Amino acid sequence: MNGVLTVHVDGIGWRSPGLADWDAARALLRDGGAPALIGASGASPALLPPNERRRAPDTVLLACDVAGQACAMAASEPAQLPCVFASMHGDIAITEHLCMTLAANPLELSPTKFHNSVLNAATGYWTVATQCHAASNALSASGASFAVGLFEAAAEAHANGTSTLFAAYDAGARGALAETMRAEASHGVAFVLSPERGARTVAALRLRHDGDGDGADVPEARGAWFGVALLPLFGALAHGHSARLRLPAGRGTALAIEVLA
């Protein structure tokens, strides 16, 4: 192998403020629009039982929503799919709440808030709701969380020879931490990725981790993993076009993505 991983996109999920699914996002992107990221995501995924939907934080609702969409489009049974969930900030509203409670009265910390605070809360709720016993991963890589998570999901798909679910999500929050990290955007996307082309495949992604560039690539330390650099990917998926793009993946490294229609 030459370090290139080619994966086939069999399903896509999307949610951002005002855009409830990939169909809505695709229509906007085809018209040359850019999605708004500030505001409530509105996610309330039906696959979570009502009790869980009530207990789950926004990040979990968002992640499960887009993951469910991608599985439905791919006609994939979620119970069989290993998954990789990526988030830049984790649940910043809950982190903020924990820290404020610890500062005021640590013995009043809520056990539910605490177990919802782990970065793998979304994979926990998702695997329980879908009765998925496959491997689940929760990953973060600062502003490169989408790029690095996508590459990890592609690596798992190839290493295990099986379709793999990938979701990237973050939910905006208010407070001192959110302000420091400029964690304003609420957005989730998901793919079902397969190592082989299938009946549901809508595009292929050729992914190459590039650590030999000039070292100028640096992921954002604050803000969101979604930005103008990612528009060519989703624009190409919306139009059914090919495209090439490059996303920062780490300190001086990048993920080169080729979209093959």
Q: Which stretch binds another protein (CB under 8 A): 2-10, 22-30, 37-45, 238-246?
A: 2-10
Other CB atoms within 10 A of residue 26 CB: 19
Considering the complex, state which of residue 160 and residue 242 has its C-beta at the smaller distance from another protein. 160
List beta partners, residue 132. none
Provide the minimum distance between the beta carbon of 168 and another protein in the complex, in angstroms, as a whole number: 13
The C-alpha atoms of residue 21 and residue 12 are separated, in whole angstroms, by: 9
Provide the minimum distance between the beta carbon of 53 and another protein in the complex, in angstroms, as a whole number: 14
Considering the complex, state which of residue 133 and residue 241 has its C-beta at the smaller distance from another protein. 133
- Which string of x and - marks every residue 92-111 that binds another protein (by CB under 8 A)? ---xx-xxx-xx--xx-xxx
Question: How many chain residues interact with another protein (CB under 8 A)?
Answer: 73
Strand, helix or coil at 33?
Answer: coil
Residue 246, CA distances (Å) to 151, 156, 184, 229, 259 in order = 13, 21, 24, 7, 11
Q: Which residues contact 151 (CB under 8 A, 6 or more apart)?
A: 5, 207, 209, 249, 255
Task: Confirm or reject binding of residue 153 to another protein (CB under 8 A).
Answer: no
CB contact at 8 A, 83 and 136: yes
Task: Confirm or reject binding of residue 8 to another protein (CB under 8 A).
Answer: no
Among 75, 176, 197, 241, binds another protein (CB under 8 A): 176
The C-alpha atoms of residue 231 and residue 2 are separated, in whole angstroms, by: 27
Among 116, 164, 186, 194, binds another protein (CB under 8 A): 116
Task: Confirm or reject binding of residue 64 to another protein (CB under 8 A).
Answer: no
Among 114, 240, 241, 261, binds another protein (CB under 8 A): 114
Task: Confirm or reject binding of residue 24 to another protein (CB under 8 A).
Answer: no
Binders in 121-140 for another protein, by CB under 8 A: 121, 123-125, 127-128, 130-140
Among 33, 34, 77, 179, binds another protein (CB under 8 A): 179
Question: Pick from 33, 24, 52, 42: which is nearest to 186 by CA?
Answer: 42
